[in-house]
Amino acid sequence: MIDKSSPVPIYHQIEEQLKTQIEEGTLMSDSALPSEREYAETFQVSRMTVRQALNNLVNDGFLYRQKGRGTFVSKQKVEQKLLGLTSFTEDMVARGLSPSNKLITFEVFPASDRIAKQLQIPPTTPVYEIQRVRLADGIPMAIETSYLPASLIKGLTKEIINHSLYNYVENTLSLKIERATQQLEASIARESETKLLQIDKGAPILLISRTSFLKDGTPFEFVKSAYRADRYKFVHHMDR
């Protein structure tokens, strides 16, 4: 399994093998890894070499350590294609994950200048502010704060928002969602976010702001999302 005559360093060969096992599911997420000693025997290499490979995999997020318990396999990141305009619910269902929400805020208030500008409405126009933690199979993935013009997205309730906003807009209000513009940037989780997302202080997050438009060009939502960078990756296809 290990080619000692190869110019590829042995620790790197071990890393590659473990990555393949993680990707193929031979090493299942949250399962405990064999000990360094066992790997050293299996691969016929020193424990130092095994440790170096495992350290690199921990640093790259493939494995995580728990004090006194050992080394475990991280959950694989959810891959989000930056292609179609999809909802969180659709994205999770498409991956065979079960979406759920934890509602943090549900209010109507007069739009600030900044929100009004994004939604192309006069300042102080009533808007919903809705903050939800979005979960997949019970694991927090993102915090989403949505601003929606109250006169356009009529009749919203906590019940509705506990399911899918896009489903309500399209299937109950019969409005056609057409396009969105989105910005993505890296950041570090603030304390309030670490609690809601169940991550450590200072953990990396991906910040996304999206303005979405109906078919007639009216903006119907301005959304700020903070995604867990350890659970999410964005994939972009490019033609030339």
* CB 192 to ligand GLP: min, Å: 19
Shortest distance, CB of residue 213 to ligand GLP, whole angstroms? Answer: 12
Q: Is 209 in the site for ligand GLP (CB under 6 A)?
A: no
**213 part of the interface to ligand GLP, by CB under 6 A:** no
Minimum CB distance to ligand GLP smaller for 62 or for 88: 88
Distances in Å between the alpha carbon of 125 and those of 56, 107, 114, 214?
A: 52, 13, 12, 19
Spatial distance between the Cα atoms of 6 and 46, rounded to a whole number of angstroms: 17
Least distance CB 143 / ligand GLP (angstroms): 11
Decide if 164 contacts 87 (C-beta within 8 A). yes
Which residue(s) pair with 107 in the sheet?
129
Maximum separation of any 2 CA atoms in the chain, in Å: 71
Q: Residues with Cβ < 8 Å from 235, sequence gap 6 or more?
A: 79, 80, 81, 82
225 binds ligand GLP (CB under 6 A): yes
* Helix or strand run (H / E) with residue 178: strand 177-188
Q: Restricting to residues 70-89, name those near ligand GLP by CB under 6 A.
A: 87-89
- Which region among 23-31, 72-80, 106-114, 219-227 touches ligand GLP (by CB under 6 A)? 219-227
Positions 157 through 176 that interact with ligand GLP (CB under 6 A)? 164-167
Of these, 219, 221, 229, 232, which contacts ligand GLP (CB under 6 A)?
221
Is residue 49 at the binding interface for ligand GLP, with CB under 6 A as the rule?
no
Q: Does 146 bind ligand GLP (CB under 6 A)?
A: yes
Which residue, chain included where needed, has tokens 């702001």? 209
By CB under 6 A, is residue 222 in contact with ligand GLP?
no
Residue 31: which of 43, 21, 40 has the closest Cα? Answer: 21
* Residue ranges binding ligand GLP (CB under 6 A): 87-89, 144, 146, 164-167, 210, 221, 223, 225
